[in-house]
Amino acid sequence: MALSIFDITEAHFHENEAKFKRELIAHTKFGAGHGFHGRYKSDHEVLTRDEFNLTPFIKNLHDKAYSQLGSSGGGNHFAEWGIIEFEKKDKVLNIEKGSYLALLTHSGSRGFGATLAGHYTKLAKENCKLPVEAANLAYLDLNTEAGQEYWLAMNLAGDYASACHEIIHNKLSKAIGAEVLAKVENHHNFAWKETWNNEQVIVHRKGATPAGKGVMGIIPGSMTAPGFLVRGKGISDAINSASHGAGRQMSRSKAVKSITKDEMRAVLKDHNVTLIGAGLDEAPMAYKDINLVMEAQKDLIDVIAKFSPKMVRMADDGSRED
């Protein structure tokens, strides 16, 4: 997740929506397997990292990583313009009370990360034989060569994901000619080396995001529900963690079968949200009520500001982008 807050008012955004829509389409690319070619490809120092030469397998993924750098995947990945509201001044970010235009993106390590994960998951299952019912709990010991390889590769993929966000935000900031007042970024569905009970352990936050004391985070709702800029309280009982989003209340297949396009259009209209792309599997009704989720974890985080989506781009479901 990455959030950029700009020196642009809500009124300016609404007066120039056509421009913001045009730039959002021009400077983002969505969909599984999609990337850039030729002069449209971006460069970043992450591509020069030594870890790309760790093994022939990882080295062979360099071209894929290069072509997809600065793009976003399918599913629930998004890039959206929205209005973020601070009810009081935040001294840490040095943001005054008020409402500002912001860009919020959700994206991962693309085909590069997915291929790495698939490869090392297969290796783990081969090396760590478990009963069929527990096969997906197979692991790689960090004291083995394969475990060390995966740890380095996973962190490279995390930094690659961060680079993708950086490129998207830089492109759009330049396109709209705005000053970035503050930027917040955080991982979820990732693993960290941390010390607990005087022992170094690996903490894997699947469906969760870091919420250590003072740690900034972003917890999104849906394409119509608000997201929240938060600061962790560092609650050890929750392993310094919080929810990383609203979470689904409907599977993708159930959403497609039970929600109509007209119902989705009506919800978008009610919330004054412009949608570019996306299928019924990502309809707002498929997600839990973010306000109930936030209420349930108020002991874990402090809400710093509320982000309301106004223009959302996701992977195209076949509809035209015009």
pLDDT single digits (tens) 13-35: 999 999 999 999 999 999 888 89
CA distances from 272 to 98, 223, 301 (A): 20, 11, 29
Check residue 318 and give its pLDDT: 44
Category of 122 on φ-ψ map: left (φ > 0), alpha (ψ -120 to 50) or beta: alpha
Q: How far apart are CA 321 and CA 314, in angstroms?
A: 11
Is pLDDT at 46 greater than 70 in this prediction?
yes
Average pLDDT over residues 173-181: 97
CA distances from 273 to 147, 162, 318 (A): 45, 27, 19
pLDDT single digits (tens) 250-301: 999 999 999 999 999 999 999 999 999 999 999 999 999 999 999 999 999 9
Catalytic residue among 27, 204, 244, 271: 244
* pLDDT-based confidence at residue 58 (cuts at 50, 70, 90): very high
Quote the pTM value: 0.94
- Taking all residues of the chain, what is their mean pLDDT, rounded to a whole number? 95
Query: What is the distance of C-alpha 105 from the center of its chain?
Result: 6
Range in 33-37, 140-144, 205-209, 284-288 with the lowest mean pLDDT: 33-37
Check residue 320 and give its pLDDT: 37
Say what percent of the chain tops pLDDT 90.
93
Is pLDDT at 8 greater than 70 in this prediction?
yes
Q: How far apart are CA 58 and CA 219, in angstroms?
A: 32
Average pLDDT over residues 50-75: 96
Q: How far apart are CA 186 and CA 298, in angstroms?
A: 19
Average pLDDT over residues 179-187: 97
Could you confirm whether 244 is annotated as catalytic?
A: yes
* pLDDT-based confidence at residue 313 (cuts at 50, 70, 90): very high
Check residue 50 and give its pLDDT: 97
Check residue 32 and give its pLDDT: 84
Q: In sequence order, what are the residues at sequence separation of 6 or more whose Cβ sits closer than 8 angstroms to the Cβ of residue 299? A: 233, 235
Q: How far apart are CA 182 and CA 6, in angstroms?
A: 7
* pLDDT-based confidence at residue 95 (cuts at 50, 70, 90): very high
pLDDT single digits (tens) 126-137: 999 999 999 999
Q: At the topology level of CATH, where does 2-313 sit? A: tRNA-splicing ligase RtcB (3.90.1860)
Q: How many CA atoms lie within 13 A of 89 on its CB side?
A: 3
Query: What is the distance of C-alpha 262 from the center of its chain?
Result: 28
* pLDDT-based confidence at residue 317 (cuts at 50, 70, 90): low
Q: How far apart are CA 2 and CA 95, in angstroms?
A: 17
Check residue 33 and give its pLDDT: 84
Q: Which amino acid is at 68?
A: Q
Is pLDDT at 118 greater than 80 in this prediction?
yes
Bridge partners of 202?
Answer: 193
Helix H segments across the chain? 10-15, 17-26, 56-59, 62-68, 110-127, 145-176, 252-258, 261-270, 290-296
Average pLDDT over residues 146-166: 98
Output b/e per residue, 248-258; b: 16+ Cβ within 10 A.
bebeeeebbee
pLDDT single digits (tens) 223-255: 999 999 999 999 999 999 999 999 999 999 999
Bridge partners of 322?
Answer: none
